[in-house]
Chain A
């Protein structure tokens, strides 16, 4: 069976695939990196095909397994026929996309999503940002999939520990990271990077929040990954170049100065809040609660106004 997928046209840029279990923060990360809110984010698995964000494309195109391309007129990602689709290409140039393509993969371990959907696109990626949920980080189902990723790609890839803000005590965070370091020793380009994605999105443009959320370290590491890919990709800016990589390009964490430069280069310029669900939850609750009870109750659980 043919396991390759139709190539996108246009100049070849480094391609970062976002992978992990469903609801691990892949789409949130893609939105953060691209400075957009185009990708639907939800708590249950999003049954979407891989979404390929690229500055060299335009519009929204559904690329079928047979190579045919169908423009999605209403610009909507939903209602794509999963069985016939290789991926959906979205033309977008914001944020990190001026330097790299992002491929938001469907979650692994989704019982309703055959792994072939992301497996067949895997050879197209130059590196992977593997998202793992801090409270249940790095389980066997993740390690097993990671084992199947080619060595050359693994050595350029990053382990992103999302929702780190859900681990409340700093010493617990440190211990979690120590375990991850031991269990993923040598399996990624750099030690695991903890990040609070929703906080980072809310704090775009605020250097303090940006740094506290871990987004600055993540951006620096991605910068290093991109430069290592740049060295490895054959004819990286030629139109229609084959997506083959020179294998075994060694990856080290870049020197501090270049990492800082990279970080500055990829901080999104636009500052925009996420989708409709981002408003304060308390306001909705107030509407439904009996006002008197609500005030007392809110006071009792120490709700801070704002």
Chain B
């Protein structure tokens, strides 16, 4: 396999037409791509400079320069215009089907990539498997579970009935293949709108029998996820955009899927509809996300083309969003961008001269005001002007900045750190840092002994970390359970006080956000404890490994201590983002309350419901997220020690002293040059880290 080469970053000025529109506002991404390219070039130089082990390690690192793939999820209510917005953002109007009816329940991940020779577009569609279906039919999904707990058996029945009908429909249409298809994945080496429609869009009314030859929606109701690889000309780097079915549809399964998809991305774009922005449902959604990841929420207020008077109305909507978020402890610092995916689509399809009259009026009205704020279009091109008014470049700008300072920065640091270690290791064997005098030939410096010593260092490190991690998790469990008990007590008191004061004719509501805040801080504290334990363990292991180096190589000065990797920030407690019964105040909660009232043991039933619901959040943190976190940190220790082991064993296996051998082969002048090159690389990597 040939060594991967960093791709040159395309100059956006060289693009034309549509391609140029699409990359407008991506300045942050271009800067990130350039920083990556620089780092990549450094790694290429390092690979040329070093021995076989160093070269392999540098090549491995090159593969990770683009990681992690920045990922963004679009969420919002059904029909807020998420899909049309996504299509516009990638310059492919009509690629993902945007239906007037919210039929789809598929999460679609678009993996976007600059055009690269040999990489083709394609799509993979994964179907529900038997077990997932069975769980849905049996329990009625999450909604069924909630309804059952609230004692609203008829809701549970209704949801079960819906799911059973859906299944029956698919079975009828797909015949014997239905069972075969369950759990399968279909892969295609191309992608177009018709193909996607076939898998994610139910097409016409689900009740209707398909017309003969009707291809649309053949598999849509059994598709679970769609993964689509696309090339976007001019795109500076690879990234993933995710479309979700949306919340507040009449079939709550989509809500569950949407909330689940928030886990996959660090950044969320909440899409609101300008003619009806910031309803109780939007607010609930934003607070839910904010509980999880406070900083990375961007609000896009879509459909300003439908406003009668955007100049007057946009500031009103903006003020209302701010006020509402402020009054209800929402994320007031979230960026709010106004725009119209409809106008953007018109730019891409070359139909800005055929806008409906109302839309054209809104555009003309909005233009002089908005052009003061939006990134300036490059010239007097009307298409570029409308594109700027669509808000898409402004959205990309905010998005790019979020990506660049968040995941982008972390990825660069991680790679630079490992690069620096390689340079330093090179120094240890070749005398570029501390001066190597020669390889020692003492007993215990043979490769097998070095390997055994390193294995011991690893098992000691893991043992120390496991002990500390167990302590941190136990402390979390104690704090979290105490918070949970107190929350239930307070909620029950509030419920009883409410019933005494108002009876059961007035709905009692009680926010679960207080509990979320407590659980979140307990979790983050535990995460910080784990990071501290990791840092201490790695520090100690690094010292021990430096000890091995010192015994292996005769050095002028101290042996270099390898730089331990830094963990990514503690992943957000996404389990807290799941909606629980208390969050559904606007709808289900109210109707359950009215239907359950008058029953005996009313308050007991609701207390038990709250305990079960919040207990679930707690259990997900304790049994899911924390063990996952511990495992990922543990594997960082393994990765670090194993990498260092490989290099030390390679050093021990040298037939001769490293520096001297190389000097003989290449001449002293060459060695000095290599030292200077290694120092330059070290400076490059250190510069990235600052």
Main secondary structure of the interface of B (DSSP, over half): helix
* 25 A-B contacts (beta carbon < 8 Å): A42-B313, A44-B319, A111-B278, A112-B327, A116-B506, A136-B273, A136-B276, A140-B250, A140-B252, A140-B587, A141-B279, A141-B280, A141-B587, A144-B591, A148-B590, A168-B356, A172-B100, A183-B250, A198-B308, A281-B362, A284-B311, A285-B364, A294-B364, A301-B363, A302-B360
Q: Which of B173-181, B379-387, B417-425, B622-630 touches A?
A: B379-387
Q: A126-152: which residues lie under 8 A (CB-CB) from chain B?
A: 133, 135-141, 143-145, 147-148
Selecting from A20-28, A30-38, A227-235, the interface stretch reads A20-28
**Could you say which of B72-80, B229-237, B565-573, B648-656 contacts chain A?**
B72-80
Given the known inter-chain contacts A44-B316, A143-B250, please indicate yes or no for A148 contacting B594, CB distance below 8 A: yes
Q: Within residues 181 to 235 of chain B, which ones have a CB less than 8 A from any CB in chain A?
A: 204-205, 207
What residues of chain B lie closer than 8 Å to A141, measured between beta carbons? 248, 279-281, 586-587
Assess A1 versus B505: contact at CB under 8 Å? Given A23-B276, A175-B101: yes
Interface mask (B350-388 → A, CB under 8 Å = 1, otherwise 0): 001111111011111111110000000000101001100
> Measuring CB to CB, which residues of chain A are less than 8 angstroms from any residue of chain B?
1, 3, 21-24, 42-45, 108-112, 115-116, 133, 135-141, 143-145, 147-148, 163, 165-168, 172-173, 175-176, 178-179, 182-183, 198, 277, 280-282, 284-286, 288-289, 293-294, 296-298, 300-304
In the assembled complex, the Cα of A115 lies from the Cα of B506 at a distance in Å of: 10
In the complex the two chains form, is B328's CB within 8 Å of A111's CB?
yes
Q: Which of chain B's residues have a CB closer than 8 A to the CB of A286?
A: 364
- Of residues B280, B306, B317, B501, which shows the largest number of chain A Cβ atoms within 10 Å of its Cβ? B280
Q: A198 contacts which chain B residues (CB < 8 A)?
A: 308
> Contact: A135 with B502, CB < 8 Å?
no
Interface residues of B in 251-267 (CB under 8 A from A): 252, 255
Is B309 an interface residue when CB atoms closer than 8 A count as contact?
A: yes
Closest to A302 in B: B353
Q: Which of B301-324 contact A (CB under 8 A)?
A: 303, 306-309, 311-313, 316-317, 319-320, 323-324
Expressed in whole angstroms, the Cα–Cα distance for A301 and B502 within the complex equals: 59
Q: In the complex, are the beta carbons of A43 and B274 less than 8 A apart? A: yes
In the assembled complex, B588 has its CB within 8 A of some CB on chain A: yes
Q: What B residues does A45 contact at CB under 8 A?
A: 320
Bound Cα distance from A31 to B197, whole angstroms: 42
The answer to whether B97 has its CB under 8 Å from any CB of chain A is: no
Q: Which residues of chain B have C-beta atoms less than 8 A from A23's C-beta?
A: 275-276
Q: Assuming A44-B316, A135-B306, what are 16 further A-B pairs, CB within 8 angstroms?
A: A43-B307, A43-B317, A44-B277, A44-B319, A109-B281, A109-B586, A115-B590, A136-B78, A138-B250, A139-B281, A140-B249, A141-B279, A144-B590, A165-B358, A172-B100, A296-B380
Question: Shortest Cβ distance from B366 into chain A, in angstroms?
Answer: 8
A252–B212 alpha-carbon span in the complex (Å): 36
A43 cross-chain contacts in B, Cβ below 8 A = 274-275, 277, 307-308, 313, 316-317
Q: CB of B514 within 8 A of chain A?
A: no
Residues on the B chain within 8 Å of A173, using CB = 100
Q: Is B598 an interface residue (CB 8 A)?
A: no
Give A284 Cβ to nearest chain B Cβ, in Å.
6
Instruction: Report if B503 contacts A (CB, 8 A).
Output: yes
Nearest-neighbour CB distance to chain B for A112, whole angstroms, equals: 6
Closest to A297 in B: B382
Contacts of A297 in B (CB 8 A): 364, 367, 382, 385
Near A by CB (< 8 A), chain B positions 578-621 give: 586-588, 590-591, 594
Among candidates A3, A167, A176, A285, residue contacting B367 with C-beta atoms closer than 8 Å: A285
- Give the shortest distance, in Å, between B338 (CB) and chain A (any CB): 12
| A136 partner residues in chain B, CB cutoff 8 A | 77-80, 273, 276
Partner of B365, one of A110, A168, A282: A282
Residues of B within 8 A of A167 (CB): 100
Nearest to B312 among chain A residues (CB) is A277
Distance, CA A302 to CA B360, complexed state (A)? 8
Q: Is the CB of B382 within 8 A of A300?
A: yes
Are A111 and B283 interface neighbours, CB within 8 A?
Answer: yes
CA distance A172 to B275 in the complex (A): 20
User: Closest Cβ of chain B: how far from A236's Cβ, in Å?
Assistant: 28
Residue of B with least CB distance to A107: B279
CB within 8 Å for A133 and B320 given contacts A172-B100, A284-B311, A285-B368: no
How far apart are A78's CB and chain B's nearest CB, in angstroms? 14
How far is the CB of A55 from the nearest CB of chain B, in Å? 30
Expressed in whole angstroms, the Cα–Cα distance for A290 and B347 within the complex equals 22
B497-525, CB < 8 A from A = 501-503, 505-507
A296 and B380 CA atoms in complex are apart in Å by: 10
A296 to B381, CA, bound (A): 10
